[in-house]
A and B are shown apart, each in its own frame.
Chain A
Amino acid sequence: MLQAESIQKSVRVVAFIGNPNTGKSSLFNALCGMNARVGNYPGVTVEQKVGRLSGTTNLIDVIDLPGTYSLAARSADEAVAVNVLSGELPQQARPEVAIVILDAANIERNFYLFSQIYELGLPVIVVLNMWDRVTSEGLTVDAELLSQRLGVPVVCTSANKRQGIDQLRKTIEHTLNAPAPMPQPGQLARTMFPAAFHLESKLLSEWLEAKGRKPSTSQVDRLLIDSDGHFQKTLCQSGLSDIAERIDEARTRLQSAGCKVPMFETKARYAWVRKLIDGAVVRQESRSASPSDRIDRWLTHRWVGMLVFVLIMFLVFQSITLFAKLPMDGIQWLQAQASSGVEAVLSPGALRSLIVDGILAGVGGVIVFLPQIAILFLFIAILEDCGYMARAAFVMDKIMTTVGLSGKSFLPLMSSFACAVPGIMATRTIESRKDRMVTLLIAPLMSCSARLPVYILMVAAFVPATRYAGGWISLQGMVLMLMQSLGALVAIPVAWILKKFFFPGEPATFLMELHSYKWPSLIVIYQRVWERLVAFVVRAGTLIFCTSILVWAAAYFPGDHRSLDQSVATLEQLNSTRAEWIKNQVSQPQSDERSTMEASLAENQTAIDEAQEQVNRQRSQLIESSFLGSVGHYIEPAVKPLGWDWKIGVAVIASFPAREVIIATLGTIYSLGSEQDEESQGLQKQMQMAEWPDGKLVFNLATALSIMVFFALCAQCSATLMTIRRETNSWRWPIFSFAYMTTLAYIGAWLTYQCFRYWS
């Protein structure tokens, strides 16, 4: 205990800060490995990522601060970055060193943020990341000279190639252990601010001190420069109500003195940066367009650009259905092996049922989707890393503005096609709160990977396997693609309505950096895909596992399973006898014994069929009398207009924690005991044979489409709702999401069923 405490105390904290898209996360992963602790900053809804620096003698924690262009905080993310660096965030130790990550190929603009951080009074390390781009972009950068001029260490790294990482690690340790040289006041960019501003800053500082506050110089600067800025709001909330008035007076005086706020700051800082990099950063001006510009001419071309965009999206979704099959079959095979292994050891009863039908079926039926998620995130990671994702936002911006959003909403929405949870979290990059809220509320409509198994199951079982164009285009694939796009299509009017009636206002600014194209880095792609897979497995391991157990219990209890267990035991006995006979038959190939054997085998087959039928009958009786069955019967009138029987109703209710659970539930309801996944022939067959009491088939094309439409639009995912709750910090929005999506889903499913019921 004492030892743990002393270790706790000796942990040093440093922070990573930089513009967005400077390879900050890759550098973080390279330094800390993949074991970052992800949580929220105390009291705010901004994600906190902390990692332990590997390979150092000291224990050093690295905080990965949200990317920002400026310390003039406008979004919640930027406010957190500023607060952590100035030690203003409660329960969060102020970092001892600020490690400023700059894009080496875009030094001038990146040094703007540095000029602000330099004034915070923290030891600083400059990291010129993406160093490998410097030569390819026709730049020469003298890092040594920059280091001399600034008086701080400058380290060159290429995180995606793992270059310069050791150097950075050593520099961090060295800076922590040696008293770091602090920047001289004369070196700071604020010395280039006009004299009138320095006077006002001094006056305001004294005024605040008289009120018992002790803000730093850079905080006073921010108060004066940022109109209604985040620090002003903090002071206002802490009881300093007349601060706004005081600042307004100061601004008026500055204005009359010819000091234009906020322009003078950017002007002074960029002039400072120019002076700093003069002679140290040389750009070879070329008259011809760069290769990246030439690629861009096509990828953002009026027609070619759109065509490329559509083709890439087509490729992504076709690949999921194409390449995921083999690994999925492998996982299913493993699950079947595990189930039969358990069945061989345990006799029929509650424990075996729990393990095979609850645990193995529930978790296994979820892990089976890992290949699909991996493929989708592989594409997203490649597109992001090579630079196309920003072009996709650029190309799509105009369309997004028609629903009142920006191209920046494209990325979170695109991510939501894999899972709405990371998609909703990615909305943090949207500066405008209104845009962010709308994006966050429509993100769950995007077809996530959890819907895919539902579609695959329904499509494989009920959509004819017709092929067109010489077998290249399948009807099943077309329906799959339509279902994948349905949510996105519905999201358009939903976004428009939300924007119009719930979040009216001007569209957000759309200043976006377009990086040069580059070859994607394998290590970066591997890390992104791995992170998503781990996140999914963790979620599957907890939420879905619990649901599986609950659903299993609801379907198992109450009910006397003794006679069923008896029947199952009889059936298994018959089956093993048969297997033994067949083995003997192979070893005794004589023809006279063979005919008697065949007769007994036929007899045995009849007995097996009878036993199987009895097992099925007893199972369906037990489920119907279970808790789940009662609920299902109770809601049947409500779901009958959608073409559903009570079993489908039960499966939909049970899938509230996560959509993919419906497969496991349907499997449990239709045949407790067989492996349940979207491609299991057994489940497909049982669904195809399911009947209403009057003998009509429950499932046909209309029912299948109605279920798919319902799942395309519903909010059956507690993880998504919990994420919305966390991101909006209110129960209002998850409840709103659930209500509006379920209403849409019900209406959509009803319309679909009514349209197709006569046709099929």
Chain B
Amino acid sequence: MTLPNIRLDELGQGESAIIVEIIGEDVVASRLMEMGLIEEEPISMVGRAPMGDPTEYAVRGYRISLRKNESTRVIVRKEC
């Protein structure tokens, strides 16, 4: 069963999802894609920084830190 699409920043601690799309064509979007955030790629949320931002994610077997204004650019779908 597939749930409706959400933004990456809405993912809770330890939750996983599949990337649906990266919004935009600017530097932020292309850098996100260069770092391996590409559609159909699984991503999971590892933990938030003490002050709630940025957030650590696991993608392609490594850990990346994204700010909220970057993670809102990533649309994901949660899978049950």
Contacts and interface: CB of A to CB of B under 8 A. Distances in A.
Interface of A: 69-70, 72, 74, 105-106, 108-109, 112, 137, 139, 227, 260-263, 266-267, 270, 283, 293, 296-297, 300-303, 305-306, 390, 393-395, 397-399, 401, 407, 507, 509-516
Contacts of A511: 31-32, 35, 64-66, 70
Contacts of B30: 72, 262-263, 266
Contact of B50 (A112, A227, A302, A393): A302
B67 A510 contact: yes
B12 to A, nearest CB: 15
Interface in B20-72: 22, 25, 27-36, 38-39, 46-54, 56, 60-67, 69-70
A108 B61 contact: yes
A397 B67 contact: yes
Nearest to B36: A109
Given A293-B46, A397-B54, A514 B63 contact: yes
Given A106-B61, A512-B64, A262 B33 contact: yes
A680 B62 CA distance: 53
A306 B50 contact: yes
Most buried by A among B29, B50, B51: B50
Contact of A108 (B31, B39, B60, B69): B60
B46 A509 contact: no
Nearest to B52: A398
B50 A300 contact: yes
A391 to B, nearest CB: 9
Nearest to B55: A394
Contacts of B22: 263
Contacts of B53: 397-398, 401
Given A399-B51, A511-B65, A514-B64, A394 B56 contact: yes
B79 to A, nearest CB: 15
Given A260-B25, A513-B63, 14 more contacts: A69-B34, A105-B61, A108-B36, A109-B36, A227-B25, A297-B47, A395-B49, A397-B53, A397-B67, A407-B54, A510-B65, A510-B67, A511-B32, A513-B65
A475 B40 CA distance: 59
A201 B25 CA distance: 20
Most buried by A among B32, B36, B70: B36
B38 A266 contact: yes
B63 A305 contact: no
A270 B61 CA distance: 14
Nearest to B32: A511
B21 to A, nearest CB: 9
B62 A74 contact: no
A305 B67 contact: no
Given A108-B61, A261-B25, A510 B66 contact: yes
B26 to A, nearest CB: 8
Contacts of B65: 390, 393-394, 397, 407, 510-514
A283 B61 contact: yes
B77 to A, nearest CB: 18
Given A112-B36, A509-B27, A511-B32, A300 B49 contact: yes
A509 B38 contact: no
Contacts of A303: 50
Contact of A296 (B27, B38, B56, B64): B56
B70 A266 contact: no
B34 A72 contact: yes
Most buried by A among B22, B46, B65: B65
Given A263-B22, A270-B38, A513 B32 contact: no
Contacts of B39: 267
7 contacts: A72-B30, A262-B25, A507-B69, A509-B31, A509-B67, A509-B70, A510-B66
Contacts of B36: 108-109, 112, 270
Given A69-B34, A70-B34, A227-B25, A398 B49 contact: yes
The 10 closest A-B pairs by CB, nearest first: A398-B51, A266-B33, A514-B63, A512-B65, A106-B62, A510-B67, A262-B30, A305-B50, A70-B34, A108-B60
